[in-house]
Structure 1
Amino acid sequence: MTEGLRPAAPACGPFAYVTLVTNADFALGAKALVRSLQVTATPAEICVLHTGGVGAAALAPLADLGARLVEIDLLPTSDAFNAAHARDRIHGLAPFTKGEKPAFHTPLDNFCKLRLWQLDYERVVFLDADTLVLRNIDRLFHYPEFCAAPNVYESLGDFHRMNSGVFTARPNPETFYRMLARLDAPGAFWRRTDQSFLQEFFPDWHGLPVFDNMLQYVWFNLPDLWSWADIRVLHFQYEKPWQDHAKADRLRPLIELWRAHERGEDIPDPATLPGPAA
């Protein structure tokens, strides 16, 4: 295994769904994600990258569900890079006026997902730990690198920006080291952290349908776009479904769906759920 990665077990097959867990909150999110993937009956391995900031108790449910755990080091970025991407500076330069980032969000941790290019798989589909997979998406393993959906949650103007909560990748150490060189170049600043970086690194990124990464704010901002019958991945951007937050009442049906997956029982067929207009 490449330097900076310590797997708990060898890989089981060439394809894997990969997520990143950097604290106990995201470990809870990953628990629901892993269960949602298992409901789709995918044969692909489910791999959880985790940093040293995640305790054994938080990781145990993921191991019990059969996920492959791979401990990773933070990226070897410079002090200047780390200072430029510190939480207070990032949030100060670009305040979140549309939603609230949770207190456990650490922007610098986002770059750790680049470690997946070091993994021992042929093809990977990355999923943020705050997503749920509602229908089988194994077709994405046969898509090229790099595919991602646009960051649509408010208007058509969102389509020019990529959202890195779901994407396709082909692990390759050479790609990883080219990324490191580009990432921490003198004076580098990535305003949207890994999303800005990946969009520049893959300027010809292939666009996935929004239904492969449906952001939760579409529920109340663009209700005509919402279609339970078509949504394959639901992404809880900003506020998380395991938190108490100001938008919880507006997002209650989505939160209840997440809770069912987290419990692992009474999981409804999404196609039977009422839409936002109801």
Structure 2
Amino acid sequence: MADGKRAVDSAKVWTTLVTNMAYLPGLLTLDYSLKKQKSAYPLVALYTDGFPAEGIAALEARGIPHQRINYLLPKTTKDYSNDPRFYDCWTKLSCFGFTQYDRVVQLDSDMLVLQNMDELMTIHLDDPAVAAEGGPDSKRVFAASHACACNPLNKPHYPKNFVPENCAFTSQHSDPDTAQTVGADPTVGPVRMMNGGLMVVNPSDAIFQQIAHFMDENAPAMEFADQSVLSELYSGRWVALPYVYNALKTIRWEGVHRPIWRDDKVKNIHYILTPNPWDDLDDEGNSTGKDETHQWWAEVNKERKADESNRGVNGDGF
């Protein structure tokens, strides 16, 4: 958990977790993209003890608010050797306990904001007391987009029911216009899982305690760490956002969910899987990767660096 103090004078914030230097380029460009799209709300970088001093210096040089939080792990955990990234994902659940803020929208650092999405700060969610009590009146504990259950890379350790016909996005192929504004019903289908890349939260001590208890009791069975916890604990009680708020780059691929993807509708792209877009830059900062969306990130990253240079922030500082 954090120390209970606000890192910035705002009741509503974007937050993003950084545990090591590998994702710092993504965080810096995420922050720049939010500002480029004129968000009225600040991004707070949440860092753990493993994040080094040079990383904190890079945040401070850019005026990015930052806050130390504890690294969160369950009492026992699943073996994620096939997907080590999931070990860090437990800590993202901490945002549910940030009661110093009224609204938190947690973002992954490998995201790029392409359009203003400040409306996420005001969408209706259950009052925390109602959400904590549960029952028939609680259907909006948090908001998120669906996970893609297609397994386009055919990872052998993924659940057997992760096939295109079971994916929530597949159900929207016949009505792509609606898919831009409405998420598929999270109470329908064999795979009812949210993606943890973007989470809209009304923080609550009681809700966080529910999550922490469920995590401790069930972690070895949670295939996708935080995503599995929230999807199971609050099954049928979360708001499904349209893909445009957490547009997994794989959705755009041919043979996945290209029928619903619209470049001009995407508000926030999520660069899931490796390589990250900052991993395939040439000496001029241009993308050398095959994925066209990596070029989008590279262009905004170059804008960021030019802007920083004009403000006297020379180099990334790491």
Q: 1:180 to 1:220 in 2, by over 3 A?
A: same
Please identify, of 53-62 and 204-213, the stretch whose mean Cα deviation from structure 2 is larger: 53-62
1:26-49 per-position Cα deviation (integer Å, ceiling 9, x unaligned): 222111111111111111121111
What one-letter code is carried by the residue in structure 1 that aligns with 2:89? N
Given that 1:153 and 1:218 are in contact with CA atoms closer than 8 Å, whether structure 2 keeps it comes out as no
Q: 1:27 to 1:182 in 2, by over 3 A?
A: same
Given that 1:153 and 1:216 are in contact with CA atoms closer than 8 Å, whether structure 2 keeps it comes out as no
**Who is 1:12 aligned against?**
9
**Who is 2:211 aligned against?**
179
Query: 2:122 aligned to 142, 146, 149, which one?
Result: 142
**Who is 1:96 aligned against?**
none
User: Within 5 Å, which residues of 2 pair with 1:254-273?
Assistant: 254-263=293-302, 264=304
Q: 1:173 to 1:26 in 2, by over 3 A?
A: same
Partner Cα distance (1:8, 1:65) in 2: 21
SS at match of 1:162: coil
**Who is 2:252 aligned against?**
219
Q: Structure 2: state its 5+ residue gaps.
A: 126-140, 151-163, 169-191, 282-287, 308-318
Please identify, of 137-146 and 191-200, the stretch whose mean Cα deviation from structure 2 is larger: 137-146
**Who is 2:86 aligned against?**
107
Query: 1:210 aligned to 234, 240, 243, which one?
Result: 243
SS at match of 1:16: strand
Q: 1:187 to 1:122 in 2, by over 3 A?
A: closer
What one-letter code is carried by the residue in structure 1 that aligns with 2:259? D
**Who is 2:224 aligned against?**
192
**Who is 1:125 aligned against?**
105
Q: Which has the higher strand share?
A: 1
Given that 1:216 and 1:236 are in contact with CA atoms closer than 8 Å, whether structure 2 keeps it comes out as yes
**Who is 2:290 aligned against?**
250
**Who is 2:148 aligned against?**
152
1:154-213 per-position Cα deviation (integer Å, ceiling 9, x unaligned): 445321331111121011222212211111016742111111111112212111011111
Partner Cα distance (2:107, 2:306) in 1: 23
Q: 1:45 to 1:187 in 2, by over 3 A?
A: closer
Alignment of 1:22 with 2:31, yes or no, is no
Partner Cα distance (1:174, 1:197) in 2: 16
SS at match of 1:184: helix
What do you get for the CA RMSD once the two structures are aligned?
A: 2.6
**Who is 1:165 aligned against?**
197
Given that 2:7 and 2:44 are in contact with CA atoms closer than 8 Å, whether structure 1 keeps it comes out as no
Partner Cα distance (2:5, 2:57) in 1: 12
What one-letter code is carried by the residue in structure 2 that aligns with 1:5? A
Q: 1:187 to 1:118 in 2, by over 3 A?
A: closer
What one-letter code is carried by the residue in structure 2 that aligns with 1:192? F
The alignment-based identity, stated in percent, is 24
Given that 1:12 and 1:45 are in contact with CA atoms closer than 8 Å, whether structure 2 keeps it comes out as no
1:243 positional shift: 2.0
User: What TM-score does the superposition give when structure 1 sets the normalisation length?
Assistant: 0.79
Q: Structure 1: state its 5+ residue gaps.
A: 92-100, 268-278
Partner Cα distance (2:264, 2:54) in 1: 36
What one-letter code is carried by the residue in structure 2 that aligns with 1:157? N
Q: 1:64 to 1:156 in 2, by over 3 A?
A: farther
Q: Which has the larger radius of gyration?
A: 2
Partner Cα distance (2:219, 2:143) in 1: 28
Given that 2:78 and 2:219 are in contact with CA atoms closer than 8 Å, whether structure 1 keeps it comes out as no
Given that 1:27 and 1:59 are in contact with CA atoms closer than 8 Å, whether structure 2 keeps it comes out as no
